[in-house]
Structure 1
Amino acid sequence: MTAGPSDLGVVDRARETELLEAALASGANVVLEGPPGTGKSTLLRRVAARREARFALVEGNAELTPARLVGHFDPALVLDRGYRPDVFVDGPLVSAMREGGLLYVEELNRVPEETLNALLTVMSEREITVPRLGVVRAADGFGVVAAMNPYDAVGTARVSSAVYDRTCRIAMGYQSAEAELQIISQRAPVQSVEWVQRVVELVRATRAHPELRVGSSVRGAMDLVGLARELARSRGVDGEDWQVGLDAALVALSGRIRVDESSTRTPEAIIEELYAQAFGPRPDGPGGEDESSGEA
């Protein structure tokens, strides 16, 4: 795949862009490390577009075998022609090597160890030996970039020191509140700047709440804004209606946050608490009564 114009909306990442471009130009392999929603994939697409390089994306998971990464001989054609180079089906790694492109491995710490081992020689020697095919050498411009979320322990494995020894690391934290406001404004129509600022405040508060192990990324804020717009339309109320915003927040954020094991509260209860802090208490009047109190 290649990067397109729509991928270039990187906000507040000038430093990381410069570091990544310098690392790749020097021939280094890079790990982009940070929580979800911090723009790791978008950043790499921007850099690939600037380099006019092929961008081969690999989803890191337990199903990523060495054959799926490197490539394989087509069984039917092997029976007919034997093990010849023209019956080898390039995987994303070999394809990127031949074309001098970038191989991007998402969720590096979810990739099986035997598959990661296939990358070691490639990262250090820029070549790989494929049984029955021979040695494949990388064209100029080839590079390996991986991304990982260091805070996610479910379904992940420890990345070996051999991999770390062959990579440079760029840490990517959450962007500023101003940058997240700009990201949301670029991606979705907003009710008002003040209202979206409160949405950003709410989402950022999930990252610092003492009872939450994991907070929401800016993607939660974008979904909240979109949900609120559609709920307000279907209910025939103002887009900044308090209950509409709460319902949108519950739907958009409850699945993204992770409550600490020591807490006895539900994700919904914590979101309601943070929502009231950002938007104020439930207002009085028609449609604004506190339903939990039993008032009609």
Structure 2
Amino acid sequence: MQRLSIDYQDAGAERKIVERRAQSASIDLPADLFDHVRQDAVAVTRATRVHPDIRQGSSVRGAIDLALVANELLALRGVASPGRGRFLGAETDPERATYTSTIWDAMVVALSGRIHLDEVVEATPGVGPSPDLGRSLHPCGGVRGSRLKSRRG
């Protein structure tokens, strides 16, 4: 018997795939905002593949879904800019706080059914997944990281 091992695409290829699949849905967003969404969606899904509390991470399909959900939420919430800085600033910049919150909400919707937490982590009484799990995946520092723990199924 022979095994065929297939790895994920590199980050650049995943960004191109997400751009191709999600860009048509982002016509209401400024190009620089869509670029932030695309980069953040790919970064988050790639992080799910290496996190110690996650047994199975998401494929590029999770990044596509995350970008699509984020695009819709950002348009609905009237967000026109990701705010100042890539990772900091949510504490003082209202635009950054709204962007960060919206990306978090999109993460929960798009990735909750695509990642599987390690059973040992889930089954350990009083331990559960790291309280920083969501924060460690969130590209903006995840100001609401503890919600991922409460939504696990």
Q: Same fold (TM over 0.5)?
A: yes
Corresponding residue for residue 236 of structure 1: 78
Corresponding residue for residue 86 of structure 2: none
CA contact 2:70–2:102 (8 Å) conserved in 1: yes
Aligned partner letter, 2:70: A
Aligned partner letter, 1:249: M
Q: CA deviation at 1:231?
A: 1.1
State the SS of the aligned residue for 1:237.
Answer: coil
Aligned-pair identity in percent equals: 39
TM-score calculated relative to the size of structure 2: 0.64
Corresponding residue for residue 62 of structure 2: 220
Q: CA deviation at 1:268?
A: 9.3
Aligned partner letter, 1:186: R
Corresponding residue for residue 10 of structure 2: 176
Indicate yes or no: 2:61 matched with 1:198: no
CA contact 2:15–2:38 (8 Å) conserved in 1: yes
Classify 1:268/1:179 alpha carbon distance in 2 versus 1 (closer, same or farther; 3 Å). farther
CA contact 2:55–2:117 (8 Å) conserved in 1: yes
- Taking CA–CA contacts closer than 8 Å with sequence separation of 6 or more, which of the two structures ends up with the larger relative contact order? 2
Equivalent in 279, 282, 291 of residue 140 of structure 2: 279
Consecutive unaligned residues in structure 1, runs of 5 or more: 1-163, 283-288
Question: Larger helix proportion, structure 1 or 2?
Answer: 2
Q: CA RMSD in A?
A: 2.9
Q: CA deviation at 1:281?
A: 4.7
Indicate yes or no: 2:113 matched with 1:255: yes
Q: CA deviation at 1:180?
A: 0.3
1:48-78 residue CA offsets vs partner (Å, 9 max, x unmatched): xxxxxxxxxxxxxxxxxxxxxxxxxxxxxxx
Equivalent in 125, 129, 133 of residue 270 of structure 1: 133
1:169-209 residue CA offsets vs partner (Å, 9 max, x unmatched): 54311010011001001111163434422221111011001
Aligned partner letter, 1:171: S
Task: Write out aligned runs for 1:1-296 (5 A).
Answer: 164=1, 170-189=4-23, 191-238=33-80, 240=82, 241-264=99-122, 265=128, 270-275=133-138, 278-282=139-143
d(CA) in 1 for partners of 2:131, 2:61: 18
Corresponding residue for residue 125 of structure 2: none
CA contact 1:242–1:279 (8 Å) conserved in 2: yes
TM-score calculated relative to the size of structure 1: 0.35
Classify 1:180/1:217 alpha carbon distance in 2 versus 1 (closer, same or farther; 3 Å). same
Classify 1:256/1:250 alpha carbon distance in 2 versus 1 (closer, same or farther; 3 Å). same
d(CA) in 1 for partners of 2:142, 2:53: 21
Q: If you compute each CA radius of gyration, which structure gives the higher value, 1 or 2? A: 1
Classify 1:221/1:228 alpha carbon distance in 2 versus 1 (closer, same or farther; 3 Å). same
d(CA) in 1 for partners of 2:134, 2:59: 14
Question: Larger strand proportion, structure 1 or 2?
Answer: 1
1:251-293 residue CA offsets vs partner (Å, 9 max, x unmatched): 1111111111121435996234311xx21353xxxxxx99x9x
1:215-248 residue CA offsets vs partner (Å, 9 max, x unmatched): 0111011001110111122222336411111000
- Runs of 4 or more consecutive aligned structure 1 residues displaced over 3 Å after TM superposition: 264-269
CA contact 2:49–2:57 (8 Å) conserved in 1: yes
